Structure 1
Amino acid sequence: MDTFTKKHPDESGPLACLRTPADRFSRLIGFDYPVGFIDVGGGVRMAYIAAGPADGQPIVLLHGEPTWGYLYRHMIAPLADAGYRVLAPDLVGFGRSDKPTRIADHSTQRHVDWMRAWFDALGLTDAVFFGQDWGALIGLRLVAEQPARFSRVFVGNGFLLTGDEPARFLIGVWRAFAQYSPLFPVGAMLQAGTRRWLSRAERAAYVAPFPDARYMAGPRALPRLLPVSPGDPAHRPNRAAWTALETFESPFHTCFSDGDPVTRGGAKPFRERVPGAASVSHKTVAGAGHFLQEDAGEEIAHFMRDCALRS
């Protein structure tokens, strides 16, 4: 276990982080890709894998809560084989990335800043983006902020909540569970959000980033950051992001499953409000749960490829 303290450039206090030992990831099946690390500020490292030709158009696949880039293993090879440079980063606090140890160290703005720093360090332009769950929320903030950087966007089982929406019962339950439950069984959560049966090795891969409770501030924090009222810190910046997305004219696709009670109906606002969604293909994935990449990863990758070919 590596423990270190860094000063975040935008904060006055130290940022204590943990690094998951590399041997926790030594038994992964179907995820044998080289790992890179980017300093995204104050010595905090964000991990990512890359596949496909180095000169290919970049496709960024961004996971959400409580997963990591491993979630995209069924999508990476088909997209790389189609000639794309596929990049799957791990959010700070997840996967192989550094893990701030305090829940208070996580904020929506910090995650947006960390993700922007990663994009900047790699010099990504003309990027195709796919985001699910929190990956959609963080990624869409970047799309709204720097639209010229993105040539095409896919949102899969995700949303950009502002706190103005009608209350969602399951989100309230999820926030309370993350805050008060003494247990946080990541493997069981993945199984609950997936229709197919995950093997023991697959469930273990999702648990691997978190050797013990000290590593879990990120998964514990993100549910509490979802805005549920106009008084939440993310309310104004997320509303501003929606205003920007209402002028986004590049292709914008939705790819939602029919079996996710958390994001059910979430495709509609994007299709109605984002100009780039008006005349492009959208997809409903039959028989998939919240983690649709697990249930239908290859199908989604082929949809993404076909959307680009039809342009």
Structure 2
Amino acid sequence: MFASLSPPSSLPSSLSFSLFSVKTPPVAAHIVPRRDLVSLRIRASKNGSPDYLFHEKLKSFAKSAILIGAAVSMTGKLSTLPAKAESPVTTTEEVKEENFSSEIEPTSPLTELLESTPEAVKTLRSLLQQKLENGEDEEALKLLERLVTAQPEETEWKFLMARLLGEMGRTENARQVFEEILQRNPLSFEALFENALLMDRSGEGDAVLQRLEDALAVAEAENMVKEIRDVRLIIAQIQFLQKNVDEALRSYEQLTREDPKDFRPYFCRGMIYSLLDKNVEAKEQFAKYRELSPKKFEVEGYLRTPLSKMKLFGSGEDN
């Protein structure tokens, strides 16, 4: 099945690409995404050549490439940032990193308010959404810091804080918050996955795989079947991001053999085949995904829908 897909040679010979984090909307279930965590950097030859056409096809998938990661995380509960009105794509940023911790003293007047008045949480969530949509990142970050202080056990706020820090170019700060989450829950799927993306974005290719292998060893030692599978899904995604296409496809195929009812590997393989212009194989994988997906999600329509118009922030539903 994979004989025709040798890693670099499976793509046009004059084309090379890498996947890394930039500011365009990620896809997830609770809050409208506003920037992809993944895009493509491509070098193509002549505008009229087959390589250039492939380059253009890959560019058209740049905003949807993160759906592979979203499919992996679709069965977990996670919060994402809301859509920001027409913000430009930024591929590189030089931002001063500061010592940062989301672990602040657990009691405050806000804590008492949130404990005694549940409606206050909805009000603050609405305010946070407005700040993010208006591009008031610093104000949103201050609000998240207060929410983390008031509700230190509520990991949703920490996830949002980490993602916002990443969006602001403060990668090390974002990773620090994810590490805090992982200290409490070393096998948190979302934290492992997003921290792995940030590590890969920072050029720590070998380190990110070792980190995931360590997490896999912990899950295997505890015989945690679900967590073992989840970590292996993340590893397959990182293999793809590191251009190990055959290896990623083999990993997904093995996961499919072990649990044919898990829809996630089918979606991931479908996306990879689409990027390789293997449309017949892609359709087969997407058809299987739709058959098994609990929400019967229409993949083609999803890919045609602007990511900024996805479901709104704060639905509170599990994926």
Q: TM-score, normalised by structure 1?
A: 0.28
Give the number of the structure whose residues are more often strand, by fraction. 1
TM-score (norm 2): 0.28
The structure, 1 or 2, with the larger RCO (C-alpha pairs under 8 Å, 6+ apart) is 2
Q: From the two aligned structures, give the one with the greater helix fraction.
A: 2
- Structure number with larger C-alpha Rg: 2
